[in-house]
Amino acid sequence: MDDIQQSRGVCLFDLPAEIRAMVYQSLLISDTAYRLGHHGPYSHEKRDQNTDIGKIYPSILATCQAVFAEASEVLYGDNTFYLGPVGHKPTYSASFITSIGAHNAAKIRTLVAHCVHPIHLSPRYLKQWISSYGLDISRVKVLAISFSPCITGENSTISIRSYPSLPAISATLPQYMGPPGGHFHMMNHLLLPGSHTTLPPAPNVVGSNASSHTDEQEMLKMQIKIQFEYALMEGRMADQAKDWVPMVPASRQDVMKWAELKNTDLRSGKRWLLYVCPTFQRKLTLRF
């Protein structure tokens, strides 16, 4: 019997499950995020073909059905997938989901997205947007949404009054949203709970021809539009926060602590909303 085992060598499934998982991780996990769709010139950039950075070896999935069943959980479950700008329809998201199949899309656990327009941050909208990719948001372990810095234009700069940061990772989304009927203030497009009873002061707009009547009208329109978007976001998130996963405000530094333990591709944004599944957080022994 021993002679037979020696003659056939060691089979992958002779190894403990933990060792097999390490083999799959070494072959299938990339240190960059996979995009679920192209959204512009940046996302069409060419990667250096002469480097092993981000390179994976998915051919192991073709070995047999048993290996495919185990390895596909690692390939889709342990890699990070970049959704692109919130609210923007990608070029080929449907073909991506079709190519990997809905059963594999359901294994995706880690998502990164970027937000340019605050109006797109209602929980219901985000759930619908993520679901449109064929993804099951209820099975997501990590979701990180970054925010753009203050808005800048060709002839003007809009600056929003800043406030001290919240203690890092200290509240769930309902706590973060404050009591029902409460009010909020802004920091870099991020709603923070506070004691103010009104919306933030109108942004200061500085332009080269600000003295002209036309420019004053345009500035006023811009201020009203921004305040209106903030008001809508405040109301929508307050109404729907109870129906969504708990998210917390986080700085880029906070998210980097998570990224050291979980591969991701932090593309932009200085402020973040971060959700980490509690059981997954304990598994990685995250400390913020």
Cβ contact 275:258 at 8 Å: no
> With contact defined as beta carbons under 8 Å apart, do 197 and 156 qualify?
no
- Cβ burial of 118 (10 Å; 0-12, 13-18, 19+) is buried
Q: Which residues of the chain have pLDDT under 50?
A: 1, 38-51, 53, 149-210, 228, 230-244, 286-288
Q: How far apart are CA 89 and CA 39, in angstroms?
A: 8
Predicted pLDDT of residue 272: 73
Res 143: pLDDT: 81
Residue with tokens 């390179």: 55
What tokens appear for 266 in the block?
């932090």
Alpha helices by DSSP H, the chain: 2-8, 17-28, 65-77, 93-100, 102-105, 123-131, 173-177, 213-240, 252-259, 278-283
The model's pTM: 0.58
What is the reported pLDDT for 29? 85
Q: Are 67 and 21 in contact (CB under 8 A)?
A: no
